[in-house]
Amino acid sequence: MYIDIVPNRSSPPAVLLRESFREGKKIRKRTLANLSHLDALRVEALRRALRGEFDHLTSGQPVCGPIFGVLYVLKKIAEALGIPQVLGRHRLARLGLFLILARVAHQGSRLSSVRWARRHAVAEVLGLEAFERRICIRPWTTWRSDKKRSSSGCIGTKGYHSWRGGRRALH
């Protein structure tokens, strides 16, 4: 295979990906693809690859980064439902959103959510840097204290009266 540049009279030259083969005593060319739509740098890189200039490079082991897809899709679903707008933009709201999304994704406790976050792209998707278990308790206690002060009375108190380490926690 090779790249052939065929001049045209009044048009730009055609850039073709071709292969040559022998048919009896004659050498024939077969056009595999028209590469005229590619920019010159890509055509040159493809030409160098076909010549084998990159064969000496070792492929190495693939590098895996943090898991991205699950959290990204769940965040988009939450945005479509309006959950981030309801929670707000501050750090505690983002922690609360993380806890909601982690509960949906793996259905574990807050501690297991922190462990789950170590393998997932929380910083890239939600803008949260490293955090600990004790920080993950705060959004719920802050949320509960805000709801307790509200006069609507639509939030019950069942399930919110557990004390751990001098703090209220949601179970």
Do 40 and 84 reside in the same domain of the chain? no
Beta-bridge mates of residue 3: 17
More confident residue, 142 or 25: 25
Residue (of 163, 164, 146, 167) closest to 155 by Cα position: 146
pLDDT digits (tens, 9 = 90+) for 12-49: 999 999 999 999 999 999 999 999 999 999 999 999 99
Do 127 and 74 reside in the same domain of the chain? yes
Do 77 and 129 reside in the same domain of the chain? yes
Is 109 inside any structural domain?
yes
pLDDT digits (tens, 9 = 90+) for 51-82: 888 877 766 676 677 888 899 999 999 999 99
pTM above 0.75, yes or no: no
Domain count, the chain: 2
| Structural domain boundaries, residue 36 | 2-51
Q: H-helix or E-strand containing 3?
A: strand 2-6
User: What's the pLDDT at 158?
Assistant: 45
Is 165 inside any structural domain?
no
What distance in Å separates the CA atoms of residue 162 and residue 120, rounded to the nearest whole number?
29
Q: H-helix or E-strand containing 27?
A: strand 26-34
Do 101 and 140 reside in the same domain of the chain? yes
Is 113 inside any structural domain?
yes
pLDDT digits (tens, 9 = 90+) for 80-102: 999 999 988 888 888 889 889 98
Do 44 and 115 reside in the same domain of the chain? no
What distance in Å separates the CA atoms of residue 98 and residue 121, rounded to the nearest whole number?
11
Q: How far apart are the first and last CA of the chain?
A: 65
Do 76 and 38 reside in the same domain of the chain? no
Do 126 and 73 reside in the same domain of the chain? yes
